[in-house]
Structure 1
Amino acid sequence: MSDVTYAEKKRGTRPPHSAGPPPPDPRGTPRVWADDLRMGLAFALRGGREGWMRTVLTAVGVGLGVALLLLTTAVPGALANRDERELARSEVLASDAEYAGDTLLMGNVDTEYEDTMVRGRLLRPEGPGAPLPPGLDAFPKPGEMVVSPALADRLDDGDADLLRERLDYGIAGTVADTGLSDPGELVYYAGSDAIEAADVNVSRIAAFGNDGDGGGMDPVLLLLAMIVFVALLMPVAVFLIAAVRFGGDRRDRRLAALRLVGADGHAVRRIAAGEALAGALLGLVVGAGLFLAGRQVAGAVSVYGMSVFTSDLNPSPALALLVAAAVPAAAVGVTLLALRGVVIEPLGVVRSARPRRRRIWWRLLLPALGLGLLAPMMGQGEDAGAFPEWQVIGGTVLLLTGITALLPWLVEAVVARLGRGPTSWQLAVRRLQLSSGTAARLVNGIAVAVAGAIALQMVFAGVEDDYSKPTGNDTDRAQLSVYAAPGQDLRVGDRVAATEGVRGTVTTISAEVGSSKRNPAGSTTLTIGTCAELRKMARLPDCRDGDAFRLTGAYDSADTKRLLSREGPLYLNPSYDGLRGKALPWTPPPGLRPAKALRDVDGYRHGGAVATPGAVPDLDDSGVFAASVDVRLDPAVPDAAERVRNVVDGLDPLLSVHTLSSEVVEEDFAGIRTGLVVGAACVLVLIGSSLLVGQLEQLRERRKLLSSLVAFGTRRSTLSLSVLWQTAIPVALGMTLSMGFGLVLGTVLLRMTATPVAVDWTSVLLMAGAGAGVVAAVTALSMPLLIRLMRPDGLRTE
């Protein structure tokens, strides 16, 4: 019987004394690689309880990461489809040359219900060729409406009595997906035969679908979007790299048995890579399943008022293929890289020898290169146009990658200097000294996520003033504002004042005052109200009905003084070329006195003149005067705002009701900030899940050690505290490092946007606290397994 080793049988080589050509180098043969990888796959799937448990752990970890990557690749397409649908329903106004036979009269009757916008349109086709809004099969008849599925569900809600009262139409159909921006949008189209082209808020529509592209996104907002993308994906990549190394210590000990039957060091490394490949491939399947399952419920989930259609969540084929190829390749590469410093011998794995000290120079090189890419863009701001995309992404990736490179060195350097303390402390420190790399791997993802979040919070806080403007509205004096244009019902103030839940109203009637009936050379505003109402606009001297005053201290005080002091009558509601209007003559009372203008609810000092009703004729002429009603609500009546809207809608659905707010935020800025919050929440859940899986796997590997310590009299509380210290020390170091990198990246980004550098320490500490909180929760969830593993049956072996 010939003495042929395992390696010789496997590679078809002969013993040294055999004749024939020398065998090929096993490290460079594709067939050898394929055979070893195939054997690793077999060990992972048919290698007993230990083998498949490690494979399952890896598959779950990789699956979570793959699901989030697939979601990320699908989001751009979903947003693009949303924009296309909104563009398709945009209204193209008819010109004067277009006749009414092929046009559509559309009234804007948007409203709010429970702080949610309801998009409403009144439709009146002017002929058989009238354009049909996207999502509709036919025009609704007068008194009927077509609603979105989300609005139909809201109307079926038992608590939606006020909404049903406001939308008092029969439901004739449902708006198709092509007419909605997202499945949660509240939309209705109602038929009407009462609206006219001359009515306020009514437009004549020639077609739907605007070809404009909106001019593109602001360069600073585009920069923010790129950084959000990188900051959310980097932790996922770090997590995937950590997931393929689950159970590495136990796997290496199993591989030592292969050395006993003749496998060389290169073979066992390839077999280990095959095991990791099995977990990664199963992870792809698990990730695809999780993504498909989440995709089915995506339409029913609304975050910050935004949702997506299931059909829109289609990953880009090219990016999906990239994920499918990159994840297994990364699993093999990471495994081979991790085993480069491990000696697997026939009698065991050599890990007890003092490891070579980690070098720091190349770890500092990564963030230095990142800063080198970002530094040339400092001070550019938005005036120089868009920031170079790949330069921004490359610099940010290198800078954040520096955290993953420096954290193992930092943990090793710090724990090497830790010494005396209680037993739990010493157990934890010794364990970290022996496996500092494993501890750092589990914290890397959280550290990268926190660093990115800190940097983005700094930038958002720095540029917020550019995209979030205070309105000046005094929301303590009024919460709603109702406006009736000339030609609409001026009794709205009295009706609103009598509504349940209204504490008070201030109604003013106004009209434009000009020097002539048509195309006046000068004009200003005349506001009419009682003395009590006018005193909220100006500091009046003694006032009685029939008085009028000229406002001072406003932007147009000088022009107003010249206009009101001229001889001859003035004209209310003058007309201009192309616009028809009914002008009324008005002669100001003699001896018009000045009055200092005050800031009103809108925060402005309105100019012009103010007068009591006795000083102005024909106040009942609704074609000349407009009415503005400031409404103060009773906070004890929760649905007071909805009752006001119902009263106004009952008078005229085309009347405007606005909710007063202290600030207004640009839509793109708000969308990116919302994306950051939602994405950060998903990433933290993912990283928390990975930490939990990794923690449980680490505890399982130390099962015999824990049981032995308990058998020798170690208290369970001591072991529990040691596990807590093993987590707390790397987390504290990781959060410190992430705060430093986050502040550096945030400072660089602020300099790039030409924004003064300021640190919001509250946000920084909150981000670090959130990361630490996730780790604390993971540690608490791992305690039940720790207690179970400390039982005496953990000493059993097979």
Structure 2
Amino acid sequence: MNVFRDLRMGAGFAVTGGREGWTRTLLTAIGVGLGVALLLLTTAIPGALGARDDRGRGRDELSGRAQQAAENTLLIATIDTTYKGDDIRGRALRAEGPRAPVPPGLSRLPAPGEMMVSPALADLLASKRGALLKERLPYRTAGKIADRGLIGPDDLTFYLGSDALTGDSNTAVRVTAFGNDFPAEKLDPRLLLLVVVMFVVLLMPVAVLIATAVRFGGDRRDRRLAALRLVGADARTTRWIAAGEALAGSLFGLVLGLGFFLIGRQLTGAAAAFDLSIFPGDLDPSVPLVVLVVLAVPAAAVAVTLFALRSVVIEPLGVVRTGTPARRRVWWRLLLPVVGVALLFPLIRRGADAGEFNRFQVIGGTVLLLLGVTALLPWLVEAMVARLGAGRVSWQLAVRRLQLGSGAAARSVNGIAVAVAGAIALQMLFMGIEKDYVRDTGQDTARAQMSVSSSGSIGSDRVTEITDGIRRTKGVRSAFGHSGTRIGDRGDNPAEGATLTIGTCDALRELARIERCADGDAFIIEASGSSDRVVGEMRPTPGRQVVIDPAYGMIEGAAPSRTPWRIPAAAPTVPGRADAHGTRYDGVLATPGAVPAAARKLTYWMDVQIDPTVPDARDLVRNAAARVDPLSTVYDLSRTQESRRFANVRTALFIGTAVVLLLIGASLLVTMLEQLRERRKLLSVLVAFGTRRSTLSWSVLYQTAVPVALGLVLAAGTGMGLGAALLGMVGRPFTVDWTGMASMIGIGAGVVLLVTALSLPPLWRLMRPDGLRTE
């Protein structure tokens, strides 16, 4: 019970110590509160992403598929688009009965020519920025989609009522309900390793900053404890009283942290960062994790305080720090990273063959390696500043201050060092596995930059009309469109046939090397041994009797459209060539005049070459495609394609890094202000003796720059060591992105320099002779 009494007494000192006590407690509470806010935010992120995923799966049309029209069926076609780089999700709907399902977030289905839009899309359409998009979606807005039908507040989504959808083509799918019953794809072990390490790297600086915040005001606290010893308190009692003061500050920090978290949660709904928007209500931390934070932060405050006082002898007449005569021991500090490496070493090459990792082993090894930074940095700073010599007055002031007590300076930059070390390791892991998630598409962006296609059945004359319409669009240099289907000997198995592609002579020259061509000609593509488009083994020959469209491209239950056709006897064999998509066609190429009119209603593709000097050229193409064929699909061509999951993990890392850096900067500023406040009288004495303000400003900068430089060097070494271990775990060679590492170190140093600059105005206010006044 004496312990609880002492803790209560210390908490009382924290709130009844007058202005000095309240200032110290407030600084501690702000530092702890910033850390708690980020902890709560981090514990809420998995639940928020899960809620986004649940709403996204709930509006999918992958479940409830039907074959025949009924009173409860709905036809849905995908009409997604992109506007100024933003993806817009669109669906065309047509009810086939009075009990057709309604998408989540809608109270009714839109009538033909009406659309229901998300609030973000409604704002975009109403703004000047959305003028071109308004031309693409000239439909009447009949209502807005509720939150339960959106993945986030910035989700751009619309539902369009259309009477042009039919159930006898593969343009639309028929459903009786919305949802996605298929199990979600699991992260592969390498991405899972990346996510686990990312959470550790982002949370470790938070823990370090909280531990630093509870030690604010250490020197003044120790002098107060000496006074308590003078009135009869023993050494054990004074330590628990000090722990009580830290406990009070941490409890106030929990309250402030909750407030910071609630403010930050509301801000997530006001702005989307890195294309990831989250409803504020989704950021709801799980109760067990909140309880863990609430219990762990005060317990850590007490433990850190007791640990810090282990080297302090508090006597009635003063405080003697045993750290002054005895140098810091290094053996136990080296033990932490050694044990961390020992935990990670058995996992080397475990992920080379997509093997599973022991998450707890990965977490333990990573935590110990990063803790090694916090343990080694005070020893390194102490060892290095002891060897620093004479210099300018500002340099001597800074060096002497560090030599008298380097612990506080090292603690203030521990968070930066840990964050940089973790960032370097993550960057190395990202580089090592990036090629596994970025594939070469084979597309030639020099020949075409965009593609327009439709899975609906459109006549070849209509394809020519659509192509000409897009070719006349401003910003378009050229456009080549063609349609296609399958041909075969029988009308019941298209897999045994070959491909028939129909287009103008100019379009066919994009697919094969053709010299002479006129409408009515046909060509047989020379067999190349392998082709992306080869499905069967039939080799077309001149004069061969075939069947066009043998049940190809038809949804189940629809009547097939089969047309007999004889390949022209004069059809020459020509060498094929890859198109802009990197696809080599097989089978037969034919101009519209060579194919019966009854067989020309096919799906089509179009390659478009744009003029990059024309503003909004891509959006103008999409507008033109929407005018000539509202159900068409338009997408950009690119040489590479990145895994969406990999991109999402990288986005989460960027967001987390930005938040952690903001937290570190804010906490470091609070730490620096607290240190300046403790040295207020010393600064006043120096000013009274004639020391220039510029000299003191440079001394403060040097006091910060020396520990930061040493911390960043230690962080670079630790980060490369951790990165090497992670690369070995996924079976990748050791590589370092020196430019990226330099940028990480530069960002860390920049944060410290910015904080130092922000601390100069308070420093100048403290450098006044009247600071010597006391009562």
Question: Which residue number corresponds to residue 6 of structure 2?
Answer: 36
Distance of 1:173 and 1:60 partners within structure 2 = 45
Contact (CA 8 Å) 2:397, 2:699: kept in 1 or not? yes
2:420·2:748 contact (CA, 8 Å) conserved in 1?
Answer: yes
Match of 1:601 in 2: 580
Shift of 1:217: 1.8
Output the CA distance in 1 between the equivalents of 2:161 and 2:239.
73
Aligned-partner Cα distance in 1 for 2:706–2:20: 30
Aligned-partner SS, 2:457: coil
Query: 1:398-797 maps to which residues of 2 (within 5 A)?
Result: 398-485=368-455, 487-488=457-458, 489-490=462-463, 491-519=465-493, 522-541=496-515, 546=521, 548=523, 550-551=525-526, 553=528, 555-556=530-531, 563-565=539-541, 568-575=544-551, 580-590=560-570, 592-595=572-575, 597-612=576-591, 616-618=594-596, 622-623=600-601, 625-797=602-774
Given that 2:524 and 2:540 are in contact with CA atoms closer than 8 Å, whether structure 1 keeps it comes out as no
Task: Check 1:530–1:161 CA distance in 2 against 1; reply closer, same or farther (3 A cut).
Answer: same
Note closer, same or farther for the CA distance 1:170–1:531 as it changes in structure 2 (3 Å cut): closer
* In structure 2, C-alpha distance between the alignment counterparts of 1:342 and 1:47, rounded to whole Å: 22
| Cα shift at 1:487 | 1.3
Alignment of 1:148-187 (within 5 A): 148-187=118-157
SS of the equivalent of 2:308 reads helix
Q: Counterparts in 2 of 1:281-320, with a 5 A limit?
A: 281-320=251-290
CA distance in 2 between partners of 1:496 and 1:291 (Å): 51
Q: Is the 8 A contact 2:532 2:583 kept in 1?
A: no
Counterpart for residue 356 of structure 1? 326
Rate the CA distance shift 1:587–1:611 in 2: closer, same or farther, 3 A.
same
In the alignment, what sits opposite 1:340? 310
Q: Deviations over 1:145-176 (max 9, x none)?
A: 22222122222213322222222222222212
CA contact (8 A) 1:218 1:382 kept: no
Shift, 1:385, TM fit: 4.1
Residues 90 and 651 (structure 1), Cα distance of their counterparts in 2 relative to 1, 3 Å cut: same
Residue in 2 aligned with 1:275?
245
> Which letter maps to 1:645?
R
Deviation at 1:557, TM superposition (A): 11
Question: What is the letter of the counterpart of residue 136 of structure 1?
Answer: L
Unaligned 5+ segments in structure 1 are 1-29
**Deviation larger for 261-270 or 368-377:** 261-270
Q: Residue 369 in 1 paired to residue 339 in 2?
A: yes
Question: Is the CA contact 1:517–1:583 (under 8 Å) kept in the aligned structure 2?
Answer: no
Q: What is the CA–CA distance in structure 1 between the aligned matches of 2:14 and 2:488, rounded to whole Å?
A: 88
How many angstroms does 1:99 deviate by?
5.1
Q: Which residue of 2 aligns with 1:249?
A: 219
1:573–1:584: 8 Å Cα contact kept in structure 2?
Answer: no
Task: Verify the 8 A CA contact 2:547 2:562 in the aligned structure 1.
Answer: no
Deviations 1:262-282 (A, max 9, x none): 222222222211211111111
What displacement does 1:66 show?
A: 0.6
Q: CA deviation at 1:611?
A: 4.7
Paired residues of 1:554 and 1:605 also in contact (CA < 8 A) = no
CA contact (8 A) 2:268 2:280 kept: yes
1:58 equivalent in alignment to 2:11? no
Within 2, Cα distance between the matches of 1:49 and 1:102? 72
Shift of 1:540: 4.1
* Aligned CA distance change for structure 1 residues 744 and 310 (closer, same or farther; 3 Å): same
**CA deviation profile, 1:78-106 (whole Å, cap 9, x unmatched):** 11111221222222455666652221111
1:178-218 C-alpha deviation (Å, 9 max, x unpaired): 11111211112222233111234300002222333224221
Change (3 A) 1:562 1:269: closer
Worse overlay, 774-783 or 756-765: 756-765
Pairwise CA distance, 1:612: 5.0
1:216 lines up with 2:186 in the alignment: yes
Alignment partners' CA distance in 2, 1:199 and 1:116: 30
* C-alpha separation in 2, matches of 1:765 and 1:166: 45
Indicate the residue corresponding to 1:81 in structure 2.
51
Decide whether aligned partners of structure 1 residues 600 and 268 sit closer, same or farther in structure 2, where only a CA change above 3 A counts: same
How far, CA to CA, are the matches of 2:571 and 2:107 in structure 1? 64
Q: Distance in 1 between matches of 2:142 and 2:573?
A: 59
CA contact (8 A) 1:300 1:307 kept: no
Counterparts in 2 of 1:274 and 1:527: CA distance versus 1, 3 Å: same
Contact in 1 for aligned 2:147/2:153 (Cα 8 Å): yes
Whole-Å Cα distance in 1 between the matches of residues 60 and 747 of structure 2?
42
> How far is the alpha carbon of 1:571 from its aligned partner?
4.0
- Contact 1:515 1:563 survives alignment (8 Å): no
Matches within 5 A, 1:135-150: 135-150=105-120
2: distance between equivalents of 1:567 and 1:716? 97
Distance 2:455 2:103 in 1: 27
C-alpha contact 2:121 2:155 (8 A) present in aligned 1: yes
Q: Is the 8 A contact 2:350 2:729 kept in 1?
A: yes
The 1-side partners of 2:394 and 2:16 are apart by 39
CA offsets, 1:442-494, max 9 Å, x none? 11111111111111111111111111112222333322100134513412111
- After superposition, the CA RMSD in angstroms is 2.5
Deviations 1:516-572 (A, max 9, x none): 444257433344445544444444445566463534657249989972336523444
Are the structure 2 counterparts of residues 139 and 361 from structure 1 closer, same or farther at C-alpha, using a change threshold of 3 Å? same
Q: Distance in 1 between matches of 2:194 and 2:533?
A: 45
Letter of the structure 1 residue corresponding to residue 525 of structure 2:
R
Letter in 1 for 2:111: K
Match of 1:258 in 2: 228
TM-score (ref. length: structure 2)? 0.93
Residue pair 1:645, 1:657 contacting (<8 A) in 2 also: yes
Contact in 2 for aligned 1:481/1:659 (Cα 8 Å): yes
SS at match of 1:350: strand
The alpha carbon displacement at 1:734 in A equals 0.9
Decide which moves more: 757-766 or 518-527: 518-527
User: After alignment, is 673-682 or 633-642 more displaced?
Assistant: 633-642
The letter for the 2-side match of 1:678 is I
Residues 308, 355 of structure 1: alpha-carbon distance in 2 compared, 3 angstrom cutoff: farther
Alpha-carbon displacement from aligned partner over 1:106-135 (angstroms, at most 9, x marks no partner): 121111122112111122222233222211
Which whole-Å CA distance do the structure 2 matches of 1:45 and 1:529 have between them?
84
User: For the structure 1 residues 353 and 471, does the alpha-carbon distance in structure 2 shift closer, same or farther, using more than 3 Å as the test?
Assistant: closer
Give distance in 1, aligned partners of 2:59 and 2:511. 41
* Partner deviation per Cα, 1:4-26 (whole Å, 9 max, x = no partner): xxxxxxxxxxxxxxxxxxxxxxx
Alignment partners' CA distance in 1, 2:525 and 2:305: 83
Shift of 1:376: 1.2
Residue in 2 that maps onto 1:236: 206
Distance across 1 between alignment mates of 2:325 and 2:510: 79
